Structure 1
Amino acid sequence: MKKDDPCTGVCQFDNRTGWCAGCGRTMSEIKAWRKMTPYRRTALSRELQRRIQQVTKQDIR
């Protein structure tokens, strides 16, 4: 894993949202990560923490 890659090695996907429980990205976002512009990576990175929190809240319920 590279330092700018948000992957945590968990790779478990939420069936409802399609987000990874480890990094918060969708499968298509994971595949496109290396080709994304720095601007797009930064914008997505800001969104990922919210996604992870939402997925973990669903698991608790």
Structure 2
Amino acid sequence: MSKETPCVAVCMIDPKTRLCFGCGRTLPEIARWHAMESAERLSVMAQLAARMADAGLQPIAGTPKRL
């Protein structure tokens, strides 16, 4: 069974917002990603675009991976 991820292989954390420049997740979210239930992952993914916009971060173009 595959687990979708918003990762675009740009793994750098913004020190001000503590969000990944590539996907918008926090370090704790990234660390727990594969342990999360599907509903929790989908909930986080639904928040990422707004989270990055609120933080003033531009999403870096890329194709999310499928694991």
Counterpart in the other structure of 1:45: 45
Partner SS, residue 57 of structure 2: helix
Alpha carbons 1:13, 1:20 under 8 Å: kept: yes
* % same residue: 36
- TM-score with structure 1 setting the length: 0.77
Compute the displacement of 1:29 (Å): 0.4
**In proportion to residue count, which structure has more helix?**
1
Equivalenced residue count is: 55
Counterpart in the other structure of 1:55: 57
The change in CA–CA distance for 1:10 and 1:33 in structure 2 (over 3 A counts) is: same
- TM-score with structure 2 setting the length: 0.71
Q: More relative contact order in 1 or in 2 (CA 8 Å, sep 6+)? A: 2
Q: Which runs of 5+ in 2 are unaligned?
A: 59-67
User: Quick one: distance in 2 between partners of 1:5 and 1:15?
Assistant: 22
Partner SS, residue 55 of structure 1: coil
Runs of 4+ in 1 over 6 A off after TM superposition: none
Compute the displacement of 1:23 (Å): 0.4
Q: Which runs of 5+ in 1 are unaligned?
A: 57-61
